[in-house]
Structure 1
Amino acid sequence: MRSRRGPQIDVDMPEVDHLSIVREACTRKSHEYSAVWCVLDTELDQSLADDLVREASRTSVELCLSTPCFEFWLIMHHVDCTRPFQSAEEAKKKLKSLVPSWSEGTTRFSDFSHGLEDACRRARKIDPTGREVSKNPSTNAWRLVTELRAGLD
């Protein structure tokens, strides 16, 4: 993603709670970037998801949320999956069964790049608006992919 052409992307992984990440992102948008996205998990916490959406709309920060976890977005690169997960750990086990070499510390784009179009299509099918962020399972990561691609044109 980091290239001289197209959008310039900075990745930051602060060790703070989800709401603090959204608040920090707001300060960066106004000073450093034209668009700021927070890529976060809901961990099946409806209250957290609601708070994140409320805070992001107040601060004009875009959210890329996955329920129960980001790994669901990665699963969608390999298979169509619409059954609910009982936990983030269950989703991670499913991903590991699909990509045996995967681990949280070693996510390689090459393991998922071939399925990007399928993942976007599958995720849009579950949530066409990208706004049903607490639906289990769901991910609106396709919105971020769409915006990044638009920046490459």
Structure 2
Amino acid sequence: MTPRRTRAKDLRRRTATRPERRTIVIFCEGEASEPDYLNALRRLPHIRDSTSINIEIDPERGVPLTLVNRAIERSGDDEVDECWCVFDVEWPKHHPHLDRAIRLAAKHGIRLAVSNPCFELWLILHFQDQTAFLTTAEAERRSRKLDGRVGKRLDPTPYLQRRQAAARRAALLAQRHLRDQTAFPDDNPSSTMHELLAAVEPAVAPGDDRPN
């Protein structure tokens, strides 16, 4: 009886395929707290593996319109998937040309993470709800009281652990303003930093705080 022939095994090595990393460029007006937060975020292993985040700080602390124009120029790079601008509204005196900056960003597909009155409102939301109007000075004072910092530098560790709670609170503020028809720039307090968080960390569902 002739033995049954078996098919030879394919001994070629199979190479693992890895998803291509996205490239996101973020333009900031701040030189301390915003970059400290974003740099810590991009160092998280699951974000680093999927997304290359480049943070560009305007050397002259440019106004929102300047940041948007820089982002428009950079968005022409074929290697860049998304450009974001992170800036504040400021109260009682607003940044100049805010409306123009927002219209221009929308026209050119530039994403915005805008905090009203300032980035410190986003920091506050990591610890507690904030539904009452705030000036910039009040937001800065409350933020420092919550995390105990003295200078401008930020310890991002306690914030990363609470980032999804902050995102939920920011989303609830956005829903409230939509319901009350309080349009920009009168949507104080508000922050769309949660939209930037979702862009760099899309795999994290609401309420799922990954370990650092």
TM-score range normalised by the length of the shorter chain: 0.7 to 0.9
Q: Deviations over 1:102-138 (max 9, x none)?
A: 532x112103112111100000000049985521010
CA contact (8 A) 2:67 2:85 kept: yes
Specify the alignment match of 2:23 in structure 1: none
Shift of 1:43: 0.8
Specify the alignment match of 1:69 in structure 2: 118
SS at match of 1:90: helix
**CA RMSD for the aligned pairs?**
2.3
CA contact (8 A) 1:6 1:151 kept: no
Partners of 1:59 and 1:147 in 2: CA distance: 18
Instruction: Specify which structure has the higher proportion of helix.
Output: 1
SS at match of 1:79: coil
1:102-113 mapped onto 2 (5 Å cutoff):
103-104=151-152, 106-113=153-160
Structure 2 residue 137 is matched with structure 1 residue 89: yes
Give the TM-score of the pair, scaled to structure 2: 0.64
Structure 2 residue 106 is matched with structure 1 residue 57: yes
Kindly provide the amino acid, as one letter, of the partner of residue 13 in structure 1. I
Partners of 1:39 and 1:94 in 2: CA distance: 21
Shift of 1:29: 1.2
Greater Rg by CA: 2
Partners of 2:161 and 2:172 in 1: CA distance: 19
Moved over 4 A (4+): 129-133
Distance 1:59 1:24, change over 3 A: same
Specify the alignment match of 2:193 in structure 1: 141
Specify the alignment match of 1:38 in structure 2: 85
Distance 1:130 1:51, change over 3 A: farther
Distance 1:148 1:41, change over 3 A: same
**Identity in percent:** 27
Instruction: Specify which structure has the higher proportion of strand.
Output: 2
Specify the alignment match of 1:28 in structure 2: 74
Shift of 1:151: 7.2
CA contact (8 A) 2:64 2:98 kept: no
* Structure 2 alignment gaps of length 5 or more: 1-41, 205-212
Shift of 1:33: 1.0
CA contact (8 A) 2:84 2:113 kept: yes
